Amino acid sequence: MQAFPAVATIAQDVRNGGRSARSFTDDALARIDAHGEALGAFLHVDVDGARAHADEVDRRAAGGDDLPLAGVPIALKDNLCTNGVPTTCGSRILSRFIPPYDATVVARLRAAGAVIVAKTNLDEFAMGSSNENSAFGPVRNPWDLARAPGGSSGGSAAAVAAGLVPVALGSDTGGSIRQPAALTGTVGLKPTYGRVSRYGLVAFGSSLDQIGPLSRNVEDAARVLAVIAGGDPRDATCSNDPVPDVVAGLEDGVDGLRVGLPREYFDDAIGDGVKTLVRRAANRLATAGATLIDVSLPHTSYGIPAYYIVATSEASSNLSRYDGIHYGHRTKDAADLAETYERSRTEGFGAEVRRRIMLGTFALASGYYDAYYDRAMRVRTLIRRDFEEAFEQVDVILSPTSPTPAFKLGEKTSDPLEMYLADVLTVTANLAGVPGLVVPEGLCDHDGARLPVGVQLMGPLWSEARLLQVGRWLERTREEAISIPEGAAS
Amino acid sequence: MIDRRTVEQIARLARLELDEERVVKLTDELSRILAHIDKLEELDVTDVPPLTHGTGGADVYRADVAGPVLDRDDALRNAPDQADGLFRVPRVIGDA
């Protein structure tokens, strides 16, 4: 299967009348129909809605509307609210929920001419690192169907990696865009906290969540970010500062760039295959005029414990809204209101969501708050300071994304703590609020398979343009092509 | 560490109904997770302020003007049970 053209090419074609939005949409729908089920990547395919919207885009384009994403088929993680289109969050509790409004990012994509073709599978409420916590079954990695695509945006990553859609949106609370991007050989961007409105994103950890693109190349991610970023009166945490042009400087190269290599991200827990490819990317930067500088982020090992207190505390609060009354699943078997709450929630939430609600409720409970939540929020400050000090010396940080390439389905499901540790290299960016971009660097032999490895670039707050510029250079100079894996089209 | 009495108490606060098997399993799992989280105690954070805002920005204000809101039918469309334009709930107090 051939990859879709670049987003800019699709949009130009549609605006010029060279090829219709409807034709690109039908192409995506046919690919999804042929290969989506084997991957488990989609929870809903909006065939009629997508076609109707594509026709409307064609009319707008013919009328001369300047649509930056004209006719670009896009899939959305199923925790993004879509007006009139089911949004399940991978949970039984929302299995019949149909939002009466669009998330801000969805409205902006539609206005820009993008065509939403499908909603993608995810770990329930975005809680997981393998996509095995979905109530509707796991997603398979297109590079090896016995392996996980990562999570929680696993369906979006698998769909893009397999070439079924050119771009997708995910959300990232502790690595949920970047880790699946790394494990599927795709580009994934977690913007700075506050760069993209969270209105209409089903809340998990409100001080950590960000929406961002997954794509096959860096420029496509930049073009999607340009559409979805920017202030929104419906999200008070979204910055009203003007968003710099993230496309103009993409080809500006890396001469003179100061690149930090954080020593804590290259320790013994990180696989050799991963380290080798990250070092290869670093060496290439050095030969092109960048300076490599050893830096330290000394509180890295406190990231996972702090993250799992902050994220679960916020989740326990956010998920208290699922009461079986206003929307979502209601038990058939309750004598009074209290039982309605308890049984609806117990029947509706899966094991990992219950576990995290319990942990978060514990951390916020009277008598434990100071020892857990308050302490974790102070450690968060230390992690933020680590980054601030590092960024006094360097422009960007280059690191691995995931300790290993894609692991097998079922490999980590018996021990929740082991799954949590998969996020060790990504949670710190969320705790500090800084942006992170993952770009595939190549393939490595791991555990009997040939699997992609993605490098992670992190930068100061609001430095997306710089990250994309460096990511684009790494992509342009990459020694191996990252094509659509053959297994995906089987 | 966390004991089963605490797990049962937390479940009540979280409005979750846990059977015996789940209480036992969660007591074990949460104990092991909290043992890892206890690593945070290695750090002296007495003089470190909590980070309470994602990017440290100032409050963002909007004009105090009413905007469009969902109409009642749309708001009720996802309700498991409704009557007369209202959410219908089971009995709150007392016997049926």
pLDDT single digits (tens) A419-478: 999 999 999 999 999 999 999 999 999 999 999 999 999 999 999 999 999 999 999 999
Radius of gyration, CA atoms only, chain A: 21
Min Cα–Cα distance to chain B from A395, Å: 18
Beta carbons of A407 and A184 less than 8 angstroms apart? no
Per the structure, the complete domain to which residue A39 belongs is given by 7-252+457-489
What average pLDDT does chain A have? 96
Residue pLDDT, tens place only, A361-376: 999 998 999 999 999 9
Among all residues of A, which ones are annotated catalytic? 77, 152, 176
Its ipTM equals: 0.94
Sign of CA dihedral A468, A471, A475, A477: positive
pLDDT band (50, 70, 90) for residue A304? very high
- Picking from B6, B15, B31, B59 by the largest number of A CB atoms within 10 A of its own CB, the best residue to mutate is B15
Q: Does the pLDDT value for residue A142 go beyond 90?
A: yes
d(CA A147, CA A488): 12
Residue pLDDT, tens place only, A323-381: 999 999 999 989 899 999 999 999 999 999 999 999 999 999 989 999 999 999 999 99
- Residue A269's region, left for phi above 0, alpha for psi from -120 to 50, else beta, is alpha
Percentage of chain A lying above the pLDDT 70 cut: 99
The pLDDT, as a whole number, for residue A424 is 95
Sign of CA dihedral A343, A344, A347, A349: negative
- Closest residue in B to A431 (Cα–Cα): B54
The total number of structural domains that make up chain A? 1
Read off the tokens for A93.
Answer: 């509790």
**With an 8 Å Cβ cutoff, are A342 and B60 in contact?**
no
**Any B CB within 8 A of A381 CB:** yes
Q: What's A198's domain CATH number?
A: 3.90.1300.10
Min Cα–Cα distance to chain A from B46, Å: 9
Q: What is the DSSP letter of A371?
A: I
A224 within some domain = yes
A337 within some domain = no
Q: Which domains does chain B have, with CATH numbers?
A: 1-43 (1.10.20.60)
A413 within some domain = no
List phi, psi (to 5°) of A129: -125, 15
Beta carbons of A429 and A458 less than 8 angstroms apart? yes
Q: Does the pLDDT value for residue A282 go beyond 90?
A: yes
Q: Which 3 state secondary structure label does DSSP give A58?
A: helix
Q: What is the DSSP letter of A196?
A: B
Beta carbons of A81 and A106 less than 8 angstroms apart? yes
**With an 8 Å Cβ cutoff, are A346 and B17 in contact?**
yes
Residue pLDDT, tens place only, A209-263: 999 999 999 999 999 999 999 999 899 899 999 999 999 999 999 999 999 999 9
**With an 8 Å Cβ cutoff, are A362 and B10 in contact?**
yes
Q: Which 3 state secondary structure label does DSSP give A315?
A: helix
Answer whether the bond into residue A399 is a cis peptide, omega within 30°.
no
A66 within some domain = yes
Nearest to A196 by CA among A179, A177, A181, A180: A177
A398 within some domain = no
A315 within some domain = no
**With an 8 Å Cβ cutoff, are B14 and A382 in contact?**
no
A93 within some domain = yes
Which residues, including other chains, have CB under 8 Å from residue A292's CB and lie 6 or more apart?
A: A259, A261, A282, A285, A286
List phi, psi (to 5°) of A292: -90, 130
The partner residue sitting opposite B14, judged by closest CB among A326, A329, A358, is A358
A289 within some domain = no
A vs B: CB pairs below 8 A:
166
